[in-house]
């Protein structure tokens, strides 16, 4: 994030709002520790489009606002690290591993796989095990199939929306980067 433009700030706010809507209004619970939602889509997209810091900020702000203002379950600080980590990792992989060239679906799938496994599946399961006092390995085994299916859908969404945003993001055309 070298330079903050008004358009970039507006898009980051939009990504935060989308994440909150996907996590709090369009999600449903299968159990206390299993939620079907796609809030990581906009967090990963923010990291891919604007880098690690922007991704981490979108993840942190959206989770904090969603948990404190809109959740009946309340705010649990260890769960905040998952979305922050997802946005940060997406930015790092996009910027430094793939050098901003996300022209192939497998590259976006790799980013989503790393983010979803590290932040959502592993860290999320660990934080939930602390919160619910359920053994980590049981939560991990129960959540893995669902989170991997969500990861594939997130990758499709990130790839399609990023491709559509490329003209806006292209700095040579007066875009955001």
Contacts for 90 with CB less than 8 Å, ≥ 6 apart: 43, 44, 45, 46, 47, 48, 52, 55, 111, 112, 115
In angstroms, rounded to a whole number, what is the distance separating the alpha carbons of residues 75 and 67?
5
Q: At 171, is the pLDDT very low, low, confident or very high (cuts 50, 70, 90)?
A: low
Residue 81 has pLDDT above 60, yes or no: yes
- Report d(CA 79, CA 9) in Å as an integer: 25
| Per-residue pLDDT tens over the stretch 83-121 | 999 999 999 999 999 998 888 999 999 999 999 999 999
Cβ atoms of residues 120 and 40 within 8 Å: yes
Q: State phi, psi for 49 to the nearest 5 degrees.
A: -80, -35
Helices 124-132/77-92 angle, 10° precision: 180
Give the residue among 52, 56, 40, 27 at the shortest CA–CA distance from 151. 40
What are the structural domains of the chain? 6-173 (1.10.1760.20)
Q: To the nearest 5 percent, what fractions of the chain are helix, strand and coil?
A: 75, 5, 20
pTM recorded for the entire structure: 0.90
């Amino acid at each position: 994030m070298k330079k903050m433009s008004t358009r970039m700030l507006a898009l980051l706010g939009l990504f935060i709002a989308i994440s909150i809507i996907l996590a709090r209004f369009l999600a449903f619970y299968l159990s206390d520790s299993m939620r079907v939602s796609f809030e990581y889509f906009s967090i990963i997209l923010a990291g891919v489009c604007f880098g690690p810091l922007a991704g981490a900020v979108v993840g942190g702000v959206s989770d904090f606002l969603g948990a404190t203002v809109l959740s009946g379950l309340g705010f649990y600080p260890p769960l905040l690290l998952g979305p922050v980590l997802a946005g940060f990792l997406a930015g790092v992989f996009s910027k430094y591993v793939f050098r901003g060239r996300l022209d192939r679906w497998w590259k976006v799938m790799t980013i989503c796989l790393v983010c979803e496994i590290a932040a959502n599946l592993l860290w999320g399961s660990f934080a939930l095990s602390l919160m619910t006092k359920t053994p980590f390995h049981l939560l991990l085994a129960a959540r893995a199939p669902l989170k991997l299916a969500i990861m594939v859908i997130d990758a499709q969404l990130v790839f399609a929306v990023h491709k559509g945003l490329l003209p806006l993001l292209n700095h040579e055309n007066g875009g955001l980067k």
